[in-house]
Structure 1
């Protein structure tokens, strides 16, 4: 007999949260946007690392804190000039 693949508990492991994979995907996309925005901003290097760590460790809470408290307008780079 051919071996059967046991996928219980593995196939949907990445689909967490109330919305399953959709919510997780939306949060991931927003987190990536924050990472890019932080990295191209004119913040000091330590601040960039701390913001990225916060959002990485707390994807949803970090996003909320970033958008509420990061003073984004003051740190916008205004374009895509090289780092």
Structure 2
């Protein structure tokens, strides 16, 4: 159980590192021919970062969080669509 608690304490650092990695690797069409960022690439990047932050705020198990991070990271546009459609956002746990 201590290993899980230690891993849970590292999640904010992991989220920060994944965000930095996402800045450099997301969306093929992020750059124009002259090397500048495209508007479409910036929009995808911002939505990816917001989705990753939202994943780490959810009260899910670590395995489910890792699965959603992998989906969002490896499929930037499709992963965003899947996350916002299937993640169960907006469901209330209140009785």
Q: Which has the larger radius of gyration?
A: 1
Are 2:83 and 1:44 equivalent residues in the alignment?
Answer: no
Of the two structures, which has the highest relative contact order with CA contacts closer than 8 Å and spacing of 6 or more?
1
1:24 shift after superposition: 0.7
Q: Which residue is equivalent to 1:66?
A: 83
- The runs of 4+ residues in structure 1 deviating greater than 2 Å are 73-76
1:15 shift after superposition: 1.1
Residue from 36, 39, 43 that aligns with 1:22: 39
Q: Is the 8 A contact 2:55 2:69 kept in 1?
A: yes
Count of residue correspondences:
61
Structure 1 distance, partners of 2:92, 2:48, is 18
Question: What are the ranges of 5 or more consecutive residues in structure 2 without an aligned counterpart?
Answer: 1-28
- Relative to total residues, which structure has the larger helix share, 1 or 2? 2
Q: Which residue is equivalent to 1:8?
A: none
Using the size of structure 1 for normalisation, the TM-score is 0.65
